[in-house]
Structure 1
Amino acid sequence: MPKARRSTVALLGTPAASAGTLYGFVDLLASTRRDWQILHGGAPAESPFEPLVVTRDGSPFTAMNGVVVTPDTSFERCTRPDIVCITDLMEEPGLHLAERYKPEIDWLLQAWNSGATLCSACSGAMLLASTGLLDGQEATSHWAYCDLLARDFPRTRWNPERMLVVTGQDRRLMMAGSGTAWYMLALALIARFASPQEAMQVARVNLLGSSDVSAIAYASLTRGARAADPVVERCQVWAALNYRSDSPVARLVAMSGLPERTFKRRFTEATGMSPLEYVHMLRLEESKQLLETTELPIEAIATEVGYQDASFFNRLFRRKVALSPSAYRRRFGPLSQQLRELATPSAEPAYC
């Protein structure tokens, strides 16, 4: 089959940009799908995004923190990107950018008129506002900039308390607020142009969302490569589809055609866990997805993934995930819901 078309993401490079944010976008977008597949032993997967650092003329420049950046291309060669992102601009709040950044503004408007989604992170909203596209819209930026932006662009409603604002025609204007809120913009782009599920995968791989939760809560319990042992690999495939079954280990033994002790030994050697532990991991990973994306009661989720005893499910989940099922839902459910909403077309602005 032909390869799916990748979304071109043009990341605006200027000497006022910070290399950390600029390449932070590159890292998250390039890692989409690829890293999750690597961690789960899947076939090599290409990211659905092609992030490119783009400048006026394509020449190397020194970013505001002294890092030398070599762009991928120039405005002239990047005329129809799917997404354009203005990362942070270390320019003085209240500075008028229209003359200094006229080539950038012209290019942004050209991309917009060609159907691109335009984004800004933190103080990058100064340049996005200078295009006039934010007139009559909700917007956000770094808290230190919003007062002066409100003075200079009074037709825009500035919300310094917002981490993310999605608005404009076809919701093609996306803005992240102060500081490290840029990662929410990256996740929103992944949710919109790939899928909410893949955005959650990127969040979990990179521990995005909160610093007060153990890294174990983010971990995928089913990570790891497929077994090289063909008997065990066949059993892994069956277990991934049938982990809800009664007595799954007995059925795996029967499928293998091996004596029970031999099968369990080979399975443990190949996967690093016993067949029963492996089934538990599959069930718990599926329960995470249900906790993130549904309002099903905990007892119903336990039954759905194969446990008749909800109290056992609760104890096992807490032991393996480092959070109770209800605490996991409180922590990750809102992020999953936000990403699903951001990926759904709507005439109304979206916030978080």
Structure 2
Amino acid sequence: MLQPPVMTIALLATREATASTLYGLYDLFSSAGRDWEIVMHGRPGRALLEPLIVSVDGQGYRAGNGAWIQPDAKLADCAALSAICIPDLMVAPDEPLSGHYDAEIEWLRARHAQGVLLAAACTGALIFAEAGLLDGRDATTHWAYCDTLAKRHPKVRVHAHRALVATGEGERILMAGGGTSWLDLALFLVARLVGTEEAMHLARLYLIDWHREGQRPYAALTTSRQVEDAVIAKAQVWAAQHYDTPTPVCTMMQLSGLTERSFKRRFKLATGMTPMEYVHTLRLEEAKQYLETTDEPVEAIAERVGYADASFFRRLFGRRVGLTPSQYRRRFRSMRLAMQ
């Protein structure tokens, strides 16, 4: 029986690529078809995917964390590819990227036009956006970079809560959210290219648990952004210390000396949130800490952070975090205790 050819996946290595994701993807793709047979029958199976680390010039370099990365080839030398995958980028959310990846972008556009499947882990999706490949399409990236992606590229429909997005014609552009959701992306790619059964083999071998709830439970709801408006910055400092008071927005407005309309307009302009949304984020972040570190009842925690109505707190927490307070406690308190 004639066996199908091994499919090549190019892993695009930029100077900002993190070695852990790059080589983690390399290991997982290399394992497809090979390692299940080793475990079950004592001999390696036939590899089904060939990962190839590629860069603009093919030269080795030090990654941001000091690890040495040695590409296998340069972009111009790549033969037929089944897929291209971009690892995450070690860049700050506000770091400008325009003009920084011109060669990579030209290559990605050409390969996309040829029908190659494109995928990006975490902040790697920012390159897709710079290439214009996400205009008018759904997208996701690390939760801390979603605001940046949405502001820089208003034509992109950013889904901050989703850990995995498939978009575009034929769903040929795939993106994962933050952190270890690159594992979801890798399994999804294996399922698309090789088959669901092999993806399940890898999930069992590597003990991979799908991020079913998305990335919202892991996200920090507040931002530490410094604002240029001194009046609003003063209000933020006060809110951080008095978020649990009964009428924090009214007090912030009084301290600002502004009219209600001017205060709310300037606050939204400076922070991207209404004053009440900002207070809610402060309260919910504090509630997360209590849920992770104490055994206090949910009702007591709600009152601690400023909510007299525990049922309202539960609904708000579930809507903003993606888990109920009890579900959040079960997941993250046990995780914290296991690491102590």
Same fold per TM (> 0.5)? yes
Q: Is the 8 A contact 1:140 1:165 kept in 2?
A: yes
Deviation at 1:155, TM superposition (A): 0.7
**C-alpha deviations, 1:195-216, integer Å up to 9, x for none?**
11110110000000079xxxxx
- Deviation of residue 28 (structure 1)? 0.6
Q: Counterparts of 1:6 and 1:160 in 2: how far apart (Å)? A: 35
1:97 equivalent in structure 2: 97
The within-5 A match list for 1:60-79 is: 60-78=60-78
Looking at structure 2, the residues matched to 199 and 209 of structure 1 have their Cα atoms a distance apart, in angstroms, of 12
Unaligned runs of 5+ in 2: 212-340
Displacement of 1:100 in angstroms is: 1.2
Task: Return structure 1 stretches of 4+ with deviation > 4 angstroms.
Answer: none
CA–CA separation in structure 2 for the residues paired with 1:165 and 1:210: 14
Aligned length: 211
Aligned mates of 2:132, 2:4 — CA distance in 1: 34
Which gives a bigger RCO, structure 1 or 2 (Cα 8 Å, sep 6+)?
A: 1
In 2, are the aligned partners of 1:109 and 1:131 still within 8 Å (CA)? yes
Partners of 2:58 and 2:71 within 8 A in 1: yes
Does the residue aligned with 1:76 lie in a helix, a strand or coil? helix
Q: Which is further off, 73-82 or 37-46?
A: 37-46
Report what 2:267 is aligned to. Answer: none
Aligned-partner residue type, residue 170 of structure 1 = G
Indicate conservation of the 8 Å contact 2:84/2:117, yes or no: yes
Q: Shift of residue 110 of structure 1?
A: 1.3
Residue 237 of structure 1 aligns with which residue? none
Give 2:194's aligned amino acid. Answer: A
Q: What residue is the counterpart of 2:122 in the other structure?
A: 122
Q: Confirm or deny: 8 A CA contact 1:80 1:114 kept in the other structure.
A: no
In structure 2, how many angstroms separate the alpha carbons of the residues matched to 1:176 and 1:43? 33
Verify the 8 A CA contact 2:88 2:122 in the aligned structure 1: yes
Q: % of aligned pairs identical? A: 44
**CA distance in structure 1 between the partners assigned to 2:133 and 2:106 by the alignment:** 12
Please say if 1:159 is aligned against 2:164: no
C-alpha distance in structure 1 between counterparts of 2:195 and 2:210, whole Å: 21
Structure 2 residue identity aligned to 1:140: T
The residue identity in structure 2 corresponding to 1:204 is R
TM-score, with normalisation over the residues of structure 2? 0.60
Q: What is the Cα deviation at residue 105 of structure 1?
A: 0.5
Q: Tell me the distance in 2 between the aligned counterparts of 1:129 and 1:7.
A: 26
Once the 2 structures are TM-superposed, how far is the Cα of residue 14 of structure 1 from its aligned partner?
Answer: 1.4
Contact kept? 2:35, 2:44, Cα under 8 Å:
no
Corresponding residue number in structure 2 for 1:46: 46
Partners of 2:80 and 2:114 in 1: CA distance = 6
Number of the residue aligned with 1:88: 88
Deviation at 1:96, TM superposition (A): 3.2
The one-letter amino acid paired with 1:5 is P
Q: 1:258-313 CA distances to partner (integer Å, 9 max, x unpaired)?
A: xxxxxxxxxxxxxxxxxxxxxxxxxxxxxxxxxxxxxxxxxxxxxxxxxxxxxxxx
Q: 1:79 to 1:106 in 2, by over 3 A?
A: farther
Q: Per-residue displacement from partner, 1:243-263 (whole Å, max 9, x unpaired)?
A: xxxxxxxxxxxxxxxxxxxxx
What's the CA shift for 1:42? Answer: 5.9
Which residue of 1 is the match for residue 188 of structure 2?
A: 188
The residue correspondences of 1:193-342 to structure 2 (distance < 5 A) are 193-209=193-209
Letter in 1 for 2:49: F
> 1:2 deviation in Å?
4.4
Structure 1 unaligned regions, length at least 5? 212-352
Residue type of the alignment partner of 2:73: T
CA–CA separation in structure 2 for the residues paired with 1:46 and 1:110: 31
> Which deviations, in whole Å up to 9, do the C-alpha atoms of 1:117-146 show, x marking residues without a partner?
111111111111111110111110001100
For the residue of structure 2 that corresponds to 1:52, the secondary structure is strand
